Amino acid sequence: MQITNLKTLAVVAAALGTLAAAPAHAGKTLDNIKAKGQVTCGVNTGLAGFGAADSAGKWTGLDVDICRAIAASTLGDAEKVKYVPLNAQQRFTALQSGEIDILSRNTTFTLTRDASLGLNSTVTTYYDGQGFMVPVKSKIKSAKQLKGQTVCVQSGTTTEKNLTDYSKANKLNIKPVVYEQLEAAENAYFTGRCIAYTTDASGLASTRNKKASNPADHAILPELISKEPLGPMVRRGDDEWFAIVKWTIYGLIEAEEYGITQANVDSLKTTSVDPVVKRILGTSEDTGKLLGLSKDWMANAIKATGNYGEIFERNVGPKSPLGLPRGVNNQWNKGGLMYAYPVR
Amino acid sequence: MNPGSPPKKNNWSWRSQAFRGVVYQIIAIAAITGMVWFLAHNTLVNMRIRGIQSGFDFLAQSAGFDIGESLYPFDSEESYWRAFLIGITNTLRVAVIGIILATILGTLLGVGRFSRNALVRGLCLSYVELFRNIPVLLQLLLWYVVLTEVLPASSEAWQLGHFFLSKGGLNYPIPVWATGQLWAAFGIAGSFGLIWLYRRWARLQFEATGQPRSGFWLPLLILVACSLLGWALGGAPTELNYPVRGEFSIEDGGALTPEFLAVLLGLTLYTASFIAEVVRGGIASVARGQGEAASALGLNRNQEMRLVMLPQALRVIIPPLTNQYLNLTKNSSLAVAIGYPDVVSIANTALNQTGRAVECISIVMLVYLITSLGTSLLMNWYNSRAAIKER
């Protein structure tokens, strides 16, 4: 009898032990990342400003910085990222199969992708819309003038369907020429095979800036024909990892709201009296523990990439080569849509 | 015991080779079935666990995307399987036309290798060596670049009569469909019957009198005459739909896009070089004496080739020729690189809109399998006709 009781007690204690240990447990993906010492990140094959490698093989861009921030918050080092360049068709399969931990490749969040691919949309890092680019000398001023014309487009994107919807709604009978590779679609436009090239407006700006022999020869038409919320996706079934990605991005956005920058993050750690700032930097509450991360997870991320505003300005903002206006991607209290859930 | 009949084998013994053979086959089939089942089951379970939806139900849904070029009109509200059909017809269109052109060009080049003119021999040899040694994808890209870089913009298209050539492709006048065309089609169908009767009569005449009769020019005349007669009976419609210069591009009329032209040109020129080698090999396999005997009988070079050499060479040519046809059809899947909406391109788009990767890839595999098996069957049937009749 005694022995049985002891045995029961031992079992219960063991169960409690695992329960107690549970809150700190943070999912297979994080364990895996910690074990291999790097975050595997799916990025664009070459879209300047969002994800592109320079001649030295160094990756830069808004999407790339998100990967770097997540590597910094999880591993404490923004350099510990393995970049996997993916084209539009490979990207979802690569994420589904576990080849990459996070897909940060200017990917539009849609219902179909969220509900049927076994993936989860995290947080929008760039609010975009689909537009058209035409040669200035064509004298086309509006997308409505594209009646019966050929338009170059990359396959495997939401773009193809948006183009069809727009063509149908406005009775334009646009003929799409669909290319597998981004570069092929861009080249076809620049050689004049198509009268217009269509993709997200940010992508148009990037293409015009990087690939056109003279960017001033090409005009982006005023019409935006769709909503394209772009951001990173993760696999379903690992809620802890989902939360880490989501809250790292929210942290970056909130850091901008509260004025934490790459430059002042270290000094704010000691000098700040603002409770919100202290929470984000982990100097008062330990928010990182709830996610299975270290106490200074957000401080690491901000130190590596700067806050969301800095990431935007550096890669795509008005002073960058792309020169995109902040527009709807500004903070919510400055007329934009960037509204971070509170890190608390 | 009757020595004429072999001793009865014990069919159920392990010592019987036939029995062992059957057992091994059953084991092999079971292993393969089990493997396939295991893979399929595992994939389905894994996909369900990860929340990836699967199944072919999406084929009935509205596609929602446009297709740049198709043999018959396609609306984005039609279903996915209709979109796949467009892709399949686009693949077949380029494959069938490519096979016909490559065969003609390849045969000419192959025969040209036996020309008495050194220049012709040299040119044929250089062609073959050049085109078969450059990867076909590069050739497709090359032709596409040539067509889209060198040609003028659509608004400044080169014009020859009612034909326009530009980056927008080749635009040409097409007849407006009327009953006259239908009658002409009937005429063509009818002419096949007449040609068959004529050729039968010509063969009987040849066997009876030894007088050879043209097996080409008269049938061609019958064909043209019958179609013209049908066309005239149908009211002789002459209305054509001419392409005209629009604001930014050529409008109306028929059009071949640069994507189609580049794929067709690339595949035809590439495959023709291989077919030329197949034909050359076939002709070389016919014993020299055959040609010399034909000359001795007084046949000219043309007759010698047509009546003596080629029929014998065909037996060697057809099996490897079938391979080339299959290669051409399969290589047409490279068209996706230059934006031609073949079945692979449509499947890519469908895959991305629906996320049904396994399903879309199986459909493409099935399409190529059926096309290739169909081609093989047809060629095997032709081969059995051309083969030596063992008597």
- Domain carrying residue B81: 77-139+259-343+377-391
Q: Cα A87 from chain centroid?
A: 15
Q: Quick check: A4 pLDDT over 50?
A: no
Averaged confidence pLDDT in chain B = 87
Q: How far apart are CA B203 and CA B213, in angstroms?
A: 8
Q: What is the topology classification, in CATH, of domain A130-226? A: D-Maltodextrin-Binding Protein; domain 2 (3.40.190)
CB atoms within 10 A of CB B338: 27
Amino acid A126: pLDDT:
96
Query: Please, where are the H alpha helices in chain B?
Result: 17-49, 80-112, 118-132, 136-145, 179-209, 217-233, 258-285, 288-296, 301-303, 310-331, 343-354, 357-386
Q: How far apart are CA A4 and CA B294, in angstroms?
A: 106
First to last CA, chain A: 49
**Residues 276 through 315 of chain B touching chain A, CB cutoff 8 Å:** none
Amino acid B3: pLDDT:
57
Amino acid A304: pLDDT:
95
Chain B residues within 8 A of A88 when measuring between CB atoms: 352
Q: Quick check: A294 pLDDT over 60?
A: yes
Residue B366 falls inside a structural domain: no
Lowest mean pLDDT among A335-344, B9-18, B223-232: B9-18
The average pLDDT across B152-164 equals 82
A8 residue type, one letter = T
Q: How far apart are CA B361 and CA B351, in angstroms?
A: 8
Q: Quick check: B38 pLDDT over 60?
A: yes
Residue B327 falls inside a structural domain: yes
Closest CA of chain A from B76, distance in Å: 7
The average pLDDT across B218-233 equals 83
b vs e for B179-216, b when ≥16 Cβ sit within 10 Å of the residue's Cβ? ebbebbebbeebbeeebeebeeebeeeeeeeeeeeeee
Closest CA of chain B from A180, distance in Å: 6
Amino acid A13: pLDDT:
45
Nearest to A183 by CA among A152, A214, A161, A160: A152
Our CA angle for B216, B221, B223, nearest 5°, is 95
Domain ranges of chain A: 25-127+229-334, 130-226
Selected residue with higher pLDDT from A213 and B179:
A213
Q: Quick check: A94 pLDDT over 70?
A: yes
Would strands A59-60 and A52-53 be described as parallel, antiparallel, or unpaired? Answer: antiparallel
Residue B168 falls inside a structural domain: no
Q: How far apart are CA B345 and CA A160, in angstroms?
A: 12
Residue B1 falls inside a structural domain: no
> Residues A41, A84: contact at Cβ < 8 Å?
yes
In three-state secondary structure terms, A318 is coil
The average pLDDT across B382-391 equals 78
pLDDT in tens, A49-89: 999 998 899 999 999 999 999 999 999 999 999 999 998 88
8 Å CB contact of A178 and B51: no
Give the total residue count for chain A: 344
Chain A residues within 8 A of B66 when measuring between CB atoms: 160, 163-164, 167, 174-176
Closest CA of chain A from B167, distance in Å: 5
Choose the mutation target among B44, B49, B50 for the interface with A, i.e. most A CBs under 10 Å: B50
Amino acid A199: pLDDT:
93
Amino acid A9: pLDDT:
45
Amino acid B301: pLDDT:
83
Q: Which two tokens stand for residue A133?
A: 């680019």
Domain A25-127+229-334 identical in fold to domain A130-226? yes
Instruction: Please report, rounded to a whole number, the percentage of residues in chain B having pLDDT higher than 70.
Output: 95
Nearest to A232 by CA among A123, A129, A319, A305: A123
Report DSSP letters for A12-68, one per residue.
HHHHHHHHHHGGG--HHHHHHHHHHTSEEEEEESSBTTTBEE-TTS-EESHHHHHHH
Selected residue with higher pLDDT from A172 and A19:
A172
Residue B171 falls inside a structural domain: no
8 Å CB contact of A149 and B249: yes
Selected residue with higher pLDDT from B38 and B169:
B38
b vs e for A211-227, b when ≥16 Cβ sit within 10 Å of the residue's Cβ? bbeeeeebbbbebbbbe
Sequence-ordered list of residues with C-beta below 8 angstroms from that of B299, at least 6 positions apart, any chain: B307, B308
The average pLDDT across A106-113 equals 91
Q: Which two tokens stand for residue A59?
A: 């990756």
Nearest to A117 by CA among A93, A100, A90, A98: A93
Closest CA of chain A from B153, distance in Å: 7
Residue B308 falls inside a structural domain: yes
8 Å CB contact of B339 and A177: yes
Give the total residue count for chain B: 391
CB contact B348 to A (< 8 Å): yes
Q: Quick check: B252 pLDDT over 90?
A: no
Q: Which of A317-331, B10-24, B200-214 has the highest mean pLDDT?
A: A317-331
Lowest mean pLDDT among A294-298, B122-126, B162-166: B162-166
The average pLDDT across A181-210 equals 90
The average pLDDT across A150-169 equals 88
Amino acid A23: pLDDT:
38
8 Å CB contact of A113 and B51: no
- pLDDT band, very low/low/confident/very high, at A6 (cuts 50, 70, 90): very low
Q: Quick check: B51 pLDDT over 50?
A: yes
Amino acid B105: pLDDT:
96
Q: Quick check: A5 pLDDT over 60?
A: no
**Among the four given CATH numbers 3.40.190.10, 2.60.40.1220, 3.20.20.20, 3.40.50.300, the one describing domain A25-127+229-334:** 3.40.190.10
Q: How far apart are CA A23 and CA A297, in angstroms?
A: 17
Residue B226 falls inside a structural domain: no
- pLDDT band, very low/low/confident/very high, at A124 (cuts 50, 70, 90): very high
Nearest to B286 by CA among B85, B35, B114, B62: B114
Choose the mutation target among A177, A186, A242 for the interface with B, i.e. most B CBs under 10 Å: A177
Model ipTM? 0.75
Amino acid A49: pLDDT:
92
Instruction: Please report, rounded to a whole number, the percentage of residues in chain A having pLDDT higher than 70.
Output: 92
Q: Tokens 């990756």 — which residue?
A: A59
- pLDDT band, very low/low/confident/very high, at A2 (cuts 50, 70, 90): very low
Q: How many domains does chain B have?
A: 1
Selected residue with higher pLDDT from B280 and B52:
B280
Q: A277 φ, ψ to 5°? A: -60, -45
Q: Quick check: B248 pLDDT over 80?
A: no
Query: Please, where are the H alpha helices in A57-181?
Result: 62-75, 90-96, 111-116, 158-169
Residue B152 falls inside a structural domain: no
**Closest Cβ–Cβ partner in B69, B249, B339 for A188:** B339
Averaged confidence pLDDT in chain A = 88
Q: Which two tokens stand for residue A72?
A: 């910094």
List the CATH number of the domain containing B291: 1.10.3720.10
Q: Quick check: A8 pLDDT over 50?
A: no
Amino acid B317: pLDDT:
93
- pLDDT band, very low/low/confident/very high, at A25 (cuts 50, 70, 90): very low
Q: How far apart are CA A204 and CA A133, in angstroms?
A: 7
Q: Quick check: B54 pLDDT over 90?
A: no
Amino acid B391: pLDDT:
60
Instruction: Please report, rounded to a whole number, the percentage of residues in chain B having pLDDT higher than 90.
Output: 43
Amino acid A30: pLDDT:
92
**Closest Cβ–Cβ partner in A188, A193, A236 for B50:** A236
8 Å CB contact of B148 and A188: yes
pTM: 0.80
b vs e for A249-276, b when ≥16 Cβ sit within 10 Å of the residue's Cβ? bbbbbbbbbbebebeebeebbeebeeeb
Chain B residues within 8 A of A181 when measuring between CB atoms: 337
Amino acid B59: pLDDT:
92
Measured between CA atoms, the residue of chain A closest to residue B63 is A161
B33 residue type, one letter = T
